[in-house]
Amino acid sequence: MENLYIKGQRGIYFTPTVKLDAEASICEISGESYLEDTVDFYDPIIKWLNAYNEESYKTLTFNFKLTYFNTSSSKAILNILKSLKKFKEKGGEIVINWYYPDDDYDILAEAEDFMEDSKLSFNLIPYKLEY
């Protein structure tokens, strides 16, 4: 299975960096997600996760390291979590790490909401954001 890498960009809109590594069974989305066309950006990620789910992989670690995301990105994150839940329901072992700046309680609250909505457990990991 091919890996997927998308380099984050900053401009009028912000796209996060995406690293989906099938061989290492580690996925990561980091940076800021403020997009005009969120569906188009996140669709390849969802398709990759669905394909990963169809393969014989048994484990997956997914790291979220977002410092900002807009409402439409929030919906896309929920769709990612739905794909991860399907993986778990098929017997896969999933670890979700949600990194948040230690002074950003909004990002922490969003993670808690995502956990409640998805019925998945996250490791909530604070870190010091360097400006």
pLDDT given at position 13: 85
* Whether 68 contacts 101, CB under 8 Å: no
Task: Centre a 10 Å sphere on the Cβ of residue 73 and count the other Cβ atoms it contains.
Answer: 22
Full set of structural domains in the chain with CATH: 4-127 (3.30.750)
pLDDT given at position 129: 78
pLDDT given at position 55: 87
Q: Output the tens digit of pLDDT for each of the chain's 131 residues.
A: 999 999 999 888 899 999 999 999 999 999 999 998 999 999 999 999 999 999 888 999 999 999 999 999 999 999 999 999 999 999 999 999 999 999 999 999 999 999 999 999 999 999 997 76
* Whether 106 contacts 71, CB under 8 Å: no
Separation between Cα atoms, residue 40 and residue 119, nearest integer Å: 26
Q: How many residues does the chain have?
A: 131
Nearest to 87, CA basis, from 43, 49, 47: 49
Question: pTM surpassing 0.75?
Answer: yes
pLDDT given at position 56: 80
pLDDT given at position 36: 86
